[in-house]
């Protein structure tokens, strides 16, 4: 074994242990049906229920959630009572979700154009048919939000509203990650040529370097709360998710680094998708942006702001207390952000217009 193999081999050991831990916890508890699968990507439909405190009639406009391409979707469906998806489901929101899965070999050659105009548009067709709705509410988390913004600009007639959760839009404010990938020493083509994709363990290591002392702080907290069963359950569930990373399709990764992090093409109105140049000035649907106050991955300044947009559209921002994950999972988020998202979806539900 060479030194170059030590890190991926060590992380692969954790990969092998993960199924054991997942069996001990009710992670991703919300039931769903798989409507379709294309290569490694699946379209999930969560089963709609309503509680005694929910509205008498469920919302008519479906919500299509597109998670980050780097992590698994179930951070939004972590545990019973700590699930954003479960909350919306119980309030009568019809929910569909794109599970990126593990990229197949053919996915590594997928261009950004193909991802948006073929894969995402195909899933949108399925949702429209299944829900009998001409438009959907698009909800994008992290880089999933960047993609949903691009899709909305390319196919505005298909989107009812756009919701963004800690989504990077202005990559001139990309923080340390942006600084690293703009260095001449960083060559994503070399890595993707060797592996076909950007390996998950490389991506994970990059995020860990943003806060190198975080593992020690978590370990300290772990021992302090050792006798707190509720804390331990949440701790292990979040640790399982944070180590459950996804490799990034190679060709698409190179394009995103070049066009977004290095050229900031989306903000400049210079990003071309399938022959059409996209500009945020052309965004014409109601948009809700959720940013985190202490996010060290997607800085507040890198998320969407009113000055990026046409002044005629409805645009709202929620500043959620916490970091990149706590902003949607924390107890404060459950009391503030979750009801605000529901309010937004109810306000713009096509069944009421």
Instruction: Examine the pLDDT at 11 and tell me if it is beyond 70.
Output: no
- DSSP string computed for 114-147: HIIIIIIHHHHHHHHHHHT-S-EEEEEETHHHHH
pLDDT of residue 253: 94
Residue 117: its H or E element: none
At the top level of CATH, which class does the domain 15-352 belong to? alpha beta
Reply yes or no on whether the pLDDT at 200 is more than 70. yes
- Give the integer Cα–Cα distance in Å for 274 and 231: 48
- Indicate the domain borders of the chain: 15-352
Position 244 scores a pLDDT of 87
pLDDT at 246 over 60: yes
Note the pLDDT tens digit of each residue in 274-286. 999 999 999 999 9
Per-residue pLDDT at 337 exceeds 60: yes
Report the percentage of the chain scoring pLDDT > 90: 65
Mean pLDDT of 116-125: 96
- Give the mean pLDDT of the chain: 88
- The predicted-structure confidence for 69-107, as pLDDT tens digits, reads as follows 888 999 999 999 999 999 999 999 999 999 999 889 999
For the cut 70, the answer to whether the pLDDT of residue 54 exceeds it is: no
209 band by pLDDT with thresholds 50, 70 and 90: confident
Residue 59's pLDDT is 92
Lowest mean pLDDT among 146-155, 212-221, 258-267: 212-221
Place of tokens 């702001």: 305
223 three-class SS: helix
Q: Which two tokens stand for residue 85?
A: 């998806």
Give the Cα separation of 19 and 41 in Å (integer).
20
């Amino acid at each position: 074994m060479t030194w170059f193999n030590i890190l991926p081999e060590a992380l692969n050991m954790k990969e092998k242990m993960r199924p054991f831990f997942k069996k001990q916890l009710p992670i991703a508890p919300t039931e769903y049906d798989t409507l379709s699968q294309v290569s490694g990507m699946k379209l999930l439909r969560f089963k709609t229920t309503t509680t005694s405190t929910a509205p008498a009639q469920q919302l008519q406009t479906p919500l299509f959630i597109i998670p980050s391409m780097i992590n698994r979707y179930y951070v939004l469906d972590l545990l019973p009572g700590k699930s954003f998806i479960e909350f919306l489901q119980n309030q009568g929101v019809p929910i569909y979700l794109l599970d990126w899965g593990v990229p197949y070999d053919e996915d590594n050659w997928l261009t950004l154009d193909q991802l948006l105009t073929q894969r995402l548009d195909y899933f949108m067709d399925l949702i429209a048919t299944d829900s009998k709705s001409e438009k959907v509410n698009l909800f994008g988390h992290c880089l999933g939000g960047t993609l949903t913004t691009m899709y909305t600009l390319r196919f505005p007639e298909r989107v009812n509203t756009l919701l963004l959760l800690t989504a990077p839009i202005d990559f001139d404010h990309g923080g340390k990650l942006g600084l690293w990938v703009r260095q001449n020493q960083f060559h994503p083509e070399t890595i993707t040529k060797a592996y076909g994709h950007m390996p998950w363990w490389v991506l994970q290591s990059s995020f860990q370097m943003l806060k190198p002392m975080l593992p020690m702080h978590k370990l300290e907290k772990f021992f302090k709360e050792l006798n707190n069963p509720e804390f331990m359950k949440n701790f292990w569930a979040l640790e399982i998710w944070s180590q459950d990373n996804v490799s990034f399709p190679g060709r698409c990764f190179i394009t995103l680094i070049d066009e977004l992090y290095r050229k900031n093409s989306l903000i400049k109105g210079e990003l071309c998708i399938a022959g059409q140049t996209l500009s945020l000035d052309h965004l014409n649907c109601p948009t809700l942006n959720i940013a985190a106050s202490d996010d060290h991955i997607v800085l507040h300044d890198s998320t969407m702001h009113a000055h990026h947009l046409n002044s005629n559209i409805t645009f709202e921002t929620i500043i959620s207390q916490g970091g990149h994950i706590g902003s949607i999972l924390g107890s404060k988020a459950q009391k503030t952000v979750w009801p605000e998202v529901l309010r937004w979806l109810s306000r713009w539900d096509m069944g009421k217009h």
